[in-house]
């Protein structure tokens, strides 16, 4: 596949106005699935977390998970939505092998939550209000693995295998209204929006919200409207965008791709497009067609959901603070400068920092590690920082540094080990033998040896030329393979030089 | 007791003999299995006979009865029964009469099947039916038609022709059926047996292979009203696995039936005759027996009044939109991926082509017809005119019922417009076939219960005629009272049951398989 | 007379994933036409103000507690599968020619 032509981003913005829309799927972390009492967990052996309902066996019937309904209402409220007096499930009919019944139980014209908005903060500190059209409940599909062919992708595969462990996992789909006026900030807005949704669901405790695991999935709709035309362009829907940075990149890419096509007199096909993390491109998926006649109708096996005002009020009272308020509170509590704090927010690391501080680390140390080394490693690997290490692990690492067990340099090696799955920081310190040598005996032996080997240096130190100690310190650190605290070595070198016999 | 006697006992009588220790479940079960061996070659009521499993289960139940736990056994313990093949059974194939499910053994039991096992009934096997319960003659079974024990050249009704024929041919005293638009009541009418469609939500649908989810209801099939009531008590009640299951507690249906057998049970009972479901279009012998039955009710103290239900005129039209629409979606799961038939097109093909080839080969013409019709009724641009309108008609029909039940306790109609027709007679005329359910469909659309029982033979052809009673939702017990009362009066006048007048069936030599 | 065409039936068959032969499409077009003519009368009485009934017995808020129950074993899950591999259901290629 030849690389498609792209237009320079700034040029594209001169010619076109980007128009956005997002569908974010949030997997709820209930104990059981949306419509069956199978565990809501889809690792493990294929086709083991399934009941007749999840396999769509003849005769099986769905029953709604009450907790999923409560979570959905809470999410709706947090998105500023109205909660429907009466909402209903509907069947969305289409054939696909990962869809056990060949219809998805979703909601159609009567979603649980509708008409809300969320405030999203851009990197420059501006706040944009994103309008929410609706949030509705539905079930996830199973997982397909394509076998054969060269790529392991659907194209050219010889056959596919289906695991229905994920089938029936509860989802809430959040659909925005059309978003105008994002302009050159469109990519950043996209990222900030998804990040805000993530913050909200984490604060609510209703989802693990790990994008790399698909707990949170963003489908990004984008079209370009020629400046001054007032005409809405044809949109594409980019799927499979599974990290915050990819959301930003995918939007930027689609703007540049669509602009190049339109500028050359071409037309945009209404289609789904797949985001490829490796190449940083999107590729064409299924075109929208007549086949997209989903024949929605009210799910006859399920009954209307009519939450009482008491329940809605109960859930409203239990809502966590809004992300904007929370940010203000945390900034003050941590004593960060405006710049330091925005750096954290823009890196999408607020929750990680909060959790790390909660686990005992100092705010500044937590900030230093998350926005520094961890962010660097995440960037190299092309993943989100949070997928590399947990807040607890980072807090442990910081504790080891502060206790003098690790130098910053050693700590970076320990971090590497933790990321490689070698265990907790303490375990990595043990297994890699990385602790600062605090037993002065070994150090003194090394120092005495080094001093004996460099009598001229010894003499200089004794003459009060303290800078000369550097050569000995270097030799000692080398001998200790870095596992010594340089400051302590320096202290001891001076001590030994002055006390050793003539 | 001889095995001939054993098969002619009602379930209630057999249960009494079992409880008294006069007969063992093994003997009763073997007598029915032998009867199946003898006559089912002609009748073809069964798609699967679980001979060994049935005898083993009967033996277990006999041992329980002999042990100190014996007193804990339920009223129907040890009584054999047949199960419509629409119900999922762990130990027997469950095909719904379709080629697409040939040989499929589900990894779970339907709730009603679990309940009959827990109540120590003995499953004999699975009964024939129109494919996916689509039909009124059982001719749409992929495994060949069932024949009417009254006349082997005639249909046993449908879709539950197998269950109705099994009880009326004395192959089983009881059977389970399902009724989406009359599939229990219409076969009962044409075979001279009894069948009840409970209030929607009164019996669990979990494990009943769905035809139309908002219409389907599982119910009992038997030779007497009391027997249906006894089975209803076993299978009814709330099931948390079926969201549409009614969470209420229910009165004893058997008690209600026994109340009907007492003197004066019909005194003051207001019976409404639906004007729109009588007269034109009904076979003369059907109308005659129906009118006579009403006279019997009146003579027993019931008050018979005419009721108008003007919107019933639209019931068939609404039904033939709602049913195919829901069915088109319910039957989408038959796609060759997780269970059932797979047909690979010549030279292989994509999964889409495999699905399409499988569904072409695995579904019969009536199923395809209804799937296409239902797909049409739900399609973009047609939904409002068809499915949407049909759902509104449903509201009108419910209002007609509400109005009627404001004036009367039960409604009465003939169970079917005609007696059993000949095999093949209506097979090529779907619209004529659909008219067979004229009188039974309104109850499904409104969710109200309906019972069918025999009221005599049509003079012109000597074939059974049935009456249907309907009651308000949740008033199932009332139907057992009225039904048992009328049944008793009629049997007194006949000097026995109607089925005792059915022709003897030729029995094949029992090979002792 | 009905407006149902053979093309329409072919499209419906595609949506319903049934590979119909030209003969089946022809006969279904006729049958469907006459059935639709007969059922179309519902729209005559279905006035805009009339509420639709989707469930015969109106219940609401039927929920299940969020408590884990029994699952099938992998063997049970796959027991009816026409083809299985590595604990999963096997299907032929989802797309045809390389796209
Ligand atoms: Mg599928
Ligand atoms: Zn969705």
* pLDDT tens-digit readout, C43-67: 999 999 999 999 999 999 999 999 9
Neighbours of chain C (3+ CB pairs under 8 A): A, B
d(CA C43, CA C53): 15
pLDDT confidence band for A124 (50 / 70 / 90): confident
CA distances from B309 to B69, B200, B439, B459, C36 (A): 52, 20, 12, 29, 24
Q: How far apart are CA B214 and CA B210, in angstroms?
A: 10
Q: Which residue has the higher pLDDT, A349 or B300?
A: B300
Backbone angles phi, psi at B169, to 5 degrees: -95, 10
State the pLDDT confidence band at A491, using cuts at 50, 70 and 90.
confident
Substitution target from B96, B197, B392, B441 for chain C, most C beta carbons within 10 A: B392
Q: What is the mean pLDDT of chain C?
A: 92
Suggest the residue from C2, C11, C19, C97 to mutate for an interface test with chain B (most B CBs closer than 10 A): C19
Which of A36, A55, A59, A302 has the highest number of chain B CBs within 10 A, making it the mutation to test binding with B? A59
Considering only CB atoms, A95 lies closest to which of B94, B332, B387, namely B332
**Tokens 């999203």, residue?**
A120
Report A:285-344 residues touching C (Cβ under 8 A): 290-291, 293, 295, 298, 300, 302-307
Q: Is B507 helix (H, G, I), strand (E, B) or coil?
A: coil
pLDDT score of A164 more than 90: yes
Report which of B339, C58, B488, B379 is spatially closest to residue A88, judged by C-alpha positions.
C58
Specify the DSSP class assigned to residue A374: I
Confidence (pLDDT) at B88: 98
Distance from CA of C67 to the nearest CA of B (A): 13
Task: Decide: A18 and A6 in contact? Cβ < 8 Å.
Answer: no
Q: What was the pLDDT predicted at C18? A: 98
Give 10-residue mean pLDDT values along chain B (513 residues): 90 97 97 98 98 98 91 94 98 98 98 98 98 97 98 98 98 98 98 98 98 98 98 98 97 98 97 93 96 98 97 96 98 98 91 96 97 95 92 98 98 97 92 88 98 98 98 98 98 97 85 44
Average pLDDT over residues A452-457: 86
Domain boundaries C6-45, corresponding CATH code: 1.10.20.60
Alpha carbon of A220 to ligand 2 centroid (Å):
13
Whether C76 has its CB under 8 Å from any CB of chain A: the answer is no
DSSP H helices, A349-468, are 350-358, 363-369, 375-381, 391-402, 408-419, 425-432, 440-453, 455-462
Here the ipTM equals 0.96
* Sign of the alpha-carbon dihedral angle for C40, C45, C51, C56: negative
pLDDT reported for residue A452: 85
Residues of A in contact with B206 (CB under 8 A): 59-61
> Is the CB of residue C62 less than 8 Å from the CB of residue B238?
no
- Average pLDDT value for residue range A18-33: 97
Q: Which two tokens stand for residue C14?
A: 């595609």
Residue B347 pLDDT: 83
Name the strand (E) or helix (H) holding B393.
helix B389-405
What CA–CA distance (Å, rounded) separates B230 from B144? 31
Indicate the range of A47-61, A469-483, B138-152 predicted with least confidence: A469-483
Q: Residue A172: nearest ligand to its CA?
A: 2
Point out the least confidently predicted range of A285-294, B46-55, B417-426, C21-30.
Answer: A285-294
Taking Cα atoms as reference points, which of A350, A379, A378 lies closest to residue A366? A350
Whether C67 sits inside 8 A of A31 (CB atoms) is yes
Q: Tell me the average pLDDT across C16-29.
A: 96
What is the rounded distance in angstroms from the CA atom of residue B148 to the CA atom of residue B420?
8
The yes-or-no verdict on residue A289 having pLDDT over 70 is: no
- Contact call for B375 and A295, based on CB within 8 A: yes
Half-sphere exposure of B505 (CA within 13 A, CB side): 28
pLDDT, residue A485, reads 80
Q: pLDDT at position A403, please?
A: 83
- The confidence band for A42, taking pLDDT boundaries of 50, 70 and 90, is confident
A317 token code pair? 């009272």
Mutate to test the interface with C, among A29, A33, A37 (most CBs of C within 10 A): A37
Q: What pLDDT score was predicted for residue B147?
A: 98
3-class secondary-structure state, position B122:
strand
User: What six digits make up the tokens of B7?
Assistant: 């098969």
> How many Cβ atoms are within 10 Å of A288's Cβ, its own excluded?
15
Is the pLDDT reported for residue C97 higher than 60?
no
**H/E stretch holding B219:** strand B217-222
A409-443 tens-digit pLDDT = 889 989 999 999 999 999 998 888 877 766 677 78
Question: Do residues A75 and A172 touch, judged by C-beta distance below 8 A?
Answer: yes
Q: Residues B26, B31, B34, B36: what is their CA dihedral angle, to the nearest 10 degrees?
A: -110
CA distances from B333 to A25, A57, A189, A352, C79 (A): 25, 8, 41, 43, 16
C-alpha–C-alpha distance, residues B176 and B235, integer Å: 9
Which helix (H) or strand (E) segment holds residue A145: the answer is strand A143-147
| Structure-token match 């169970």, residue found | B415
Domains of chain B: 21-312+396-506 (3.90.1300.10)
B156 neighbors B62 (Cβ within 8 angstroms): no
Rounded Cα gap, residues A262 and A257, in angstroms: 9
Mean pLDDT is lowest, of A200-209, A278-287, C33-42, for A278-287
Query: pTM of the prediction?
Result: 0.88
Got the DSSP string for B336-360? SSSSS---PPTT---HHHHHHHHHH
Query: What stretches of A84-122 adopt beta strand conformation (E)?
Result: 90-93, 103-106, 113-121
Residue C35: its chain B contacts at CB < 8 A?
320, 369, 373, 430-431
Ligand lying nearest the CA atom of residue A99: 1
Ligand minimally distant from the alpha carbon of residue B334: 1
Contact A354, A390 (CB under 8 A): no
Q: Is C82 within 8 Å of B336 when comparing Cβ atoms?
A: yes
CA gap B235, A383 in Å, rounded: 56
Residue A206: count of CB within 10 angstroms of its CB: 24
- Contact state of C38 with B344 under an 8 Å Cβ cutoff: no
pLDDT at residue A155 in the model: 73
Chain C hits for A55, CB-CB cut-off 8 Å, are: 72, 77
Taking CA atoms, what residue in C is nearest to B343? C82
Residue A288 confidence class, pLDDT cut points 50, 70, 90 = low
Of C54, C91, C95, the CB nearest to A162: C91
Q: Do C17 and B321 touch (CB under 8 A)?
A: no
> A102 and B212: CB-CB below 8 Å?
no
Mean pLDDT along residues A126-138: 96
What local confidence, expressed as pLDDT, does residue A453 receive? Answer: 86
Owner of token pair 């200790």: A480
Residues 6+ apart with CB under 8 A from C47: B392
Axis-axis angle for helices B253-260, B225-235 (nearest 10): 160
d(CA B167, CA B187): 11
Percentage helix, strand, coil for chain A under 3-state DSSP, each rounded to 5: 40, 20, 40
SS3 state of residue A452:
helix
In angstroms, the CA A416 to CA B102 distance is 57
Cβ B339–C81 below 8 Å, yes or no? yes
Whole-angstrom distance, CA of residue B234 vs CA of residue B203: 10
Cα separation values, A394 from A77, A211, A353, B113, Å: 33, 20, 9, 56
Write out the two tokens for A117: 């908005």
User: What is the pLDDT, as a whole number, of residue C2?
Assistant: 58
pLDDT given for residue A163 in this prediction: 97
Residue pair A424/A417 in contact (Cβ under 8 Å)? The answer is: no
List Cα–Cα distances, B380 to A54, A293, A296, in angstroms.
Answer: 28, 6, 9
Q: How far is B472 from chain C (nearest CA, A)?
A: 11
**Is there a contact between B213 and A300 if contact means CB atoms under 8 Å apart?**
yes
Tokens 């005759």 correspond to B273
> Can you say whether the dihedral through the CA atoms of A302, A305, A311, A312 is positive or negative?
positive
Please give the span between the terminal C-alpha atoms of chain A, in angstroms, as a whole number: 77
The span from the CA of A145 to the CA of A148, in Å, is: 10
- Ligand index nearest the alpha carbon of residue A160: 1
What was the pLDDT predicted at A290?
52
Separation in Å, CA of A67 to nearest CA in chain C:
6
Helix (H, G, I), strand (E, B) or coil at A239: strand
Nearest to B272 by CA among B442, B405, B396, B394: B405
Q: Give the A window 118-177 contacts with C, CB below 8 Å.
A: 144-146, 148, 154-164
C25 burial via Cβ count (<10 Å: 0-12, 13-18, 19+): middle
Average pLDDT of span A141-157: 81
A227 contact B CB<8A: no
Q: How many Å apart are CA A478 and CA A486, to the nearest integer?
A: 11
Q: Which residues of B are catalytic?
A: 84, 159, 183
Please confirm whether the linkage preceding B477 is cis (ω < 30° from 0). no
> What's the pLDDT score for residue C46?
93
What is the C-alpha separation between B220 and B229, in angstroms, rounded?
Answer: 8
Task: Report CA-CA distances (Å) from B50 to A412, A491, B36, B126.
Answer: 70, 91, 11, 8
């Amino acid at each position: 596949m030849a690389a498609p032509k792209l237009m320079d981003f700034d040029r594209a913005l001169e010619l076109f106005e980007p128009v956005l829309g997002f569908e974010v799927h949030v997997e709820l972390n209930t104990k059981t699935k949306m419509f069956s009492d199978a565990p809501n967990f889809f690792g493990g052996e294929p086709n083991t977390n399934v009941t007749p309902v999840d396999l769509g066996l003849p005769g099986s019937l769905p029953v709604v998970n009450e907790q999923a309904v409560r979570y959905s209402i809470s999410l709706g409220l947090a998105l500023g939505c109205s909660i429907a007096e009466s909402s209903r499930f509907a069947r969305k009919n289409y054939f696909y092998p990962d869809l056990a019944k060949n219809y998805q139980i979703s909601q159609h014209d009567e979603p649980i939550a509708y008409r809300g908005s969320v405030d999203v903060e851009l990197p420059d500190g501006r706040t944009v209000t994103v309008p929410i059209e609706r949030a509705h409940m539905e079930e996830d599909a199973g997982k397909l693995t394509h076998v054969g062919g060269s790529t392991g992708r659907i194209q050219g595969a010889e056959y596919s295998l289906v695991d229905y462990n994920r089938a029936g996992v509860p989802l809430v789909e959040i659909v925005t209204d059309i978003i105008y006026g994002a302009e050159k900030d469109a990519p950043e807005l996209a990222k900030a929006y998804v990040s805000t949704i993530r913050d909200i669901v984490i604060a609510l405790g209703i989802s693990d919200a790990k994008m790399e695991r698909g707990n949170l999935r963003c489908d990004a709709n984008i079209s370009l409207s020629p400046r001054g035309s007032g005409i809405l362009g044809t949109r594409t829907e980019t799927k499979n965008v599974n990290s915050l940075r990819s959301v930003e990149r995918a939007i930027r890419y689609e703007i540049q791709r669509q602009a190049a096509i339109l500028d050359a007199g071409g037309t945009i096909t209404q289609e789904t497009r797949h985001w490829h993390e490796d190449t940083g491109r999107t590729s064409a998926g299924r075109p929208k067609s007549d086949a997209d006649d989903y024949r929605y109708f009210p799910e006859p096996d399920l009954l209307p959901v009519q939450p009482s005002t008491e329940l809605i009020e109960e859930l409203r009272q239990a809502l966590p603070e809004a992300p904007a308020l929370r940010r203000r509170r945390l900034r003050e509590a941590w004593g960060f400068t405006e710049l330091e704090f925005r750096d954290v927010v823009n890196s999408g690391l607020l929750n990680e920092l909060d959790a790390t501080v909660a686990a005992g680390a100092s705010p500044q140390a937590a900030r230093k590690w998350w926005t520094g080394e961890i962010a660097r490693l995440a960037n190299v690997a092309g993943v989100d920082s949070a997928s590399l290490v947990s807040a607890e692990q980072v807090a442990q690492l910081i504790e080891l540094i502060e206790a003098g067990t690790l130098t910053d340099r050693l700590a970076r090696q320990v971090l590497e080990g933790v990321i490689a799955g070698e265990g907790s920081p303490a375990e990595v310190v043990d297994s890699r033998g990385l602790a600062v040598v605090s037993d002065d005996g070994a150090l003194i032996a090394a120092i005495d040896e080094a001093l004996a080997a460099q009598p001229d240096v010894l003499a200089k130190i004794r003459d009060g030329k303290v800078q000369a100690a550097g050569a000995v310190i270097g030799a000692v650190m080398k001998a200790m393979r870095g596992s010594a605290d340089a400051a302590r070595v320096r202290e001891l070198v001076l001590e030994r030089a002055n006390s050793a016999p003539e | 007791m001889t095995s001939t006697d054993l098969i002619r006992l009602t379930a209630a009588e057999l249960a009494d003999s079992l409880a008294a220790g006069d007969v063992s479940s093994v003997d009763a079960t073997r007598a029915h299995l032998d009867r199946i061996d003898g006559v089912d070659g002609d009748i073809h009521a069964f798609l699967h006979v679980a001979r060994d499993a049935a005898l083993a289960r009967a033996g277990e139940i006999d041992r329980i009865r002999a042990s100190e736990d014996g007193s804990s056994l339920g009223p129907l313990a040890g009584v054999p029964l047949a199960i419509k093949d629409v119900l999922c059974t762990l130990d027997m194939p469950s095909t719904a009469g379709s080629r697409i499910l040939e040989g499929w053994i589900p990894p779970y039991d339907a709730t009603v099947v679990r309940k009959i096992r827990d109540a120590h009934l003995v499953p004999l096997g699975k009964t024939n039916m129109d494919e996916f319960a689509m039909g009124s003659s059982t001719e749409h079974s992929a495994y060949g038609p069932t024949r009417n024990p009254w006349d082997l050249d005639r249909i046993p009704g449908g879709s539950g022709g197998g269950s109705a024929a099994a009880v009326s041919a004395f192959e089983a005293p009881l059977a389970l059926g399902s009724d989406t638009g009359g599939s229990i009541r219409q076969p009962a009418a044409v075979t001279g047996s009894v069948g009840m469609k409970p209030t929607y939500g009164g019996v669990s649908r979990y494990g009943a292979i769905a035809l139309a989810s908002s219409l389907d209801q599982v119910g009992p099939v038997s030779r007497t009203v009391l027997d249906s009531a006894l089975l209803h008590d076993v299978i009814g009640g709330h099931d948390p696995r079926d969201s549409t299951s009614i969470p209420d507690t229910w009165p004893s249906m058997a008690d209600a039936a026994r109340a009907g057998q007492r003197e004066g049970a019909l005194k003051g009972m207001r019976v409404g005759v639906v004007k729109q479901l009588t007269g034109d279009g009904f076979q003369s012998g059907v109308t005659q027996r129906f009118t006579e039955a009403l006279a019997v009710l009146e003579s027993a103290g019931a008050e018979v009044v005419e009721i108008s239900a003007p919107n019933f005129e639209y019931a068939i039209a609404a039904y033939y939109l709602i049913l195919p629409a829901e069915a088109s979606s319910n039957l989408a799961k038959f796609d060759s991926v997780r269970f059932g038939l797979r047909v690979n097109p010549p030279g292989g093909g994509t999964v889409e082509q495999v699905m399409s080839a499988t569904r072409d080969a695995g579904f019969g013409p009536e199923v395809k017809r209804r799937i296409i019709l239902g797909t049409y009724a739900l399609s973009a641009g047609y939904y409002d005119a068809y499915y949407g309108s049909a759902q509104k008609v449903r509201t009108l029909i419910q209002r007609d019922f509400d109005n009627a039940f404001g004036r009367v306790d039960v409604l009465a109609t003939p169970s079917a417009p005609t007696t059993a027709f000949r095999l093949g007679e209506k097979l090529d005329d779907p619209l004529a076939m659909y008219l067979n359910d004229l009188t039974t469909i309104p109850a499904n659309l409104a969710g109200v219960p309906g019972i069918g029982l025999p009221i005599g033979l049509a003079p012109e052809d000597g074939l059974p005629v049935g009456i249907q009673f309907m009651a308000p939702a949740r008033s199932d017990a009332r139907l057992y009272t009225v039904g048992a009362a009328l049944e008793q009066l009629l049997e007194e006048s006949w000097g026995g049951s109607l089925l005792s007048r059915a022709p003897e069936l030729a029995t094949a030599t029992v090979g002792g398989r | 007379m009905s407006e149902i065409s053979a093309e329409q039936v072919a499209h419906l068959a595609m949506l319903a994933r049934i590979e119909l032969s030209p003969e089946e499409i022809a006969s279904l077009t006729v049958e469907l036409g006459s059935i639709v003519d007969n059922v179309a009368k519902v729209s005559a009485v279905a006035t805009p103000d009339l509420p639709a009934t989707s469930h015969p017995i109106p219940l609401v808020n039927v929920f299940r507690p969020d408590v884990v129950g029994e699952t099938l074993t992998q063997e049970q899950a796959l027991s009816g599968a026409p083809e299985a591999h590595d604990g999963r259901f096997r299907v032929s290629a989802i797309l045809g020619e390389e796209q």
